[in-house]
Amino acid sequence: MENLDLSSMKLVDRPETFDFEGISMTHYFTDNWEKVKNFQARPDDILIATYPKAGTTWVSYILDLLYFGNDALECETSLPIYMRVPFLESCFQGSPTGTEMADNLPTSPRLIKTHLPVQLVPKSFWEQNSRVVYVARNAKDNAVSYFHFDRMNMVQPEPGDWNKFLQKFLKGKNVFGPWYDHVSGWWEKKQTYSNLLYMFYEDMVEDTGREVERLCSSLGLSTSVEEREKITKGVQFDTMKQNQITNHSTIPFMDFKISPFMRKGKVGDWKNHFTMAQNEQFDEVYKQKMKNTTVMFRTEI
Ligand code: A3P
């Protein structure tokens, strides 16, 4: 695999969102839809599924290290995570599509990332009984992280100020649709699809080592205690922030002067953003939207 030359990517104006199968999307995630829909999964594929900003990069890197060893920790020239773990539905000008990158992955298993809500996942993943690791993050921190991401990422829609973004989040009009349906849709899937591990960002922050162990036992990996400890150390926030493989510093359409990709990595940062009125409004909407699901989140640890 060659390193991607993203500098050749033509930058266009920030995209608009539109309704796609009932979900707010930008063309970057729908232009290649026929290929995405017909993507051929394999039984040993591992699909990493998340709502944007829930800890995708974190769990991707953990899995990368668990499967393909510690080389990435030591080798500065290793490929960045977005090449090691292709983003299935992505289609950015000047770069191979997510499906092309996944088709060309030489690894076994293939680690593949998606932000699609469960109902839009290509059916071959279910037919092949591929493993899925889903990571969910509490709505308040997820919204804050998404706001800062949209500020700095020029291929995302313009977020406006925090309140404008929050109102959009409450209406479920962000790219990849409502957070509520995403986390509860995948939670429902877990009830009938046994190859799905449902994880929480808050658990990973609370005790990364424990969650690495959980991943190992769920995936049937017999990684030694020493190796697990080494990986747990290598995936701490400060280490990943310095690491070029994971910090996204090589992506030209992200403006780190506005906000870094590895921003804070905390549970409870929402308290620095929500006014009391916004918090009350949020809790009210949350109660309504989440009344039919049993999935529970922690907004502090
Ligand atoms: P913040 O913006 O709250 O800092 P994704 O990879 O899905 O885009 O998620 C990005 C979020 O995960 C960012 O949250 C980022 O800082 C956080 N993150 C990434 N690696 C992390 C780590 N090792 N520990 C804690 N948080 C991490």
Query: Buried b vs exposed e over 109-148: b needs ≥16 C-beta within 10 Å?
Result: bbbbbbbbbbebbbeebeebebbbbbbbbbbbbbbbbbbb
> Would residue 11 count as lying in a domain?
no
Cβ atoms of 196 and 134 closer than 8 Å: yes
DSSP state of 183: H
Compute the distance between CA of residue 156 and CA of residue 178 in angstroms, rounded to an integer: 16
If phi > 0 it is left, if psi is from -120 to 50 it is alpha, else beta; for residue 198 that is beta
> Would residue 295 count as lying in a domain?
no
> Would residue 38 count as lying in a domain?
yes
Q: Residue 69: its pLDDT value, please? A: 81
What's the CA-to-centroid distance between 56 and ligand 1, angstroms?
A: 8
Q: Residue 1: its pLDDT value, please? A: 47
- The dihedrals phi and psi of 113, each to the nearest 5 degrees, come to -100, 140
Q: Residue 120: its pLDDT value, please? A: 98
> Would residue 18 count as lying in a domain?
no
Q: Residue 71: its pLDDT value, please? A: 59
Domain coverage including residue 281: 27-289
- Identity at 153, one-letter amino acid code: N
Compute the distance between CA of residue 150 and CA of residue 155 in angstroms, rounded to an integer: 8
Pocket test for ligand 1, best of 56, 57, 273 (most atoms within 8 A of CB): 57
Number of domains in the chain: 1
> Would residue 21 count as lying in a domain?
no
Tell which residue, 268, 4, 20, has the closest CA to residue 137: 268
Q: Residue 8: its pLDDT value, please? A: 52
Q: Where are the beta strands (DSSP E) in 23-159?
A: 23-25, 46-50, 111-114, 131-136
Compute the distance between CA of residue 33 and CA of residue 16 in angstroms, rounded to an integer: 17
Tell me which residues of the chain have a pLDDT lower than 50. 1-2
> Would residue 1 count as lying in a domain?
no
How far apart, in Å, are the Cα atoms of 249 and each of 14, 150, 173, 261, 300? Answer: 20, 16, 28, 8, 29
Active site residue 27: no
CATH of the domain at 106: 3.40.50.300
For ligand 1, atom 20, name the residue with the nearest CA.
Answer: 58
The number of helix segments (H) and strand segments (E) in the chain equals 14, 6
For ligand 1, atom 10, name the residue with the nearest CA.
Answer: 53
Q: Which atom of ligand 1 is nearest to the CA of 52?
A: 7
Compute the distance between CA of residue 282 and CA of residue 277 in angstroms, rounded to an integer: 8
> Would residue 175 count as lying in a domain?
yes
> Would residue 297 count as lying in a domain?
no
Give the residues surrounding ligand 1 with Cβ less than 6 Å away. Answer: 50, 52-58, 141, 145, 148, 205, 235-237, 240, 262-265, 269
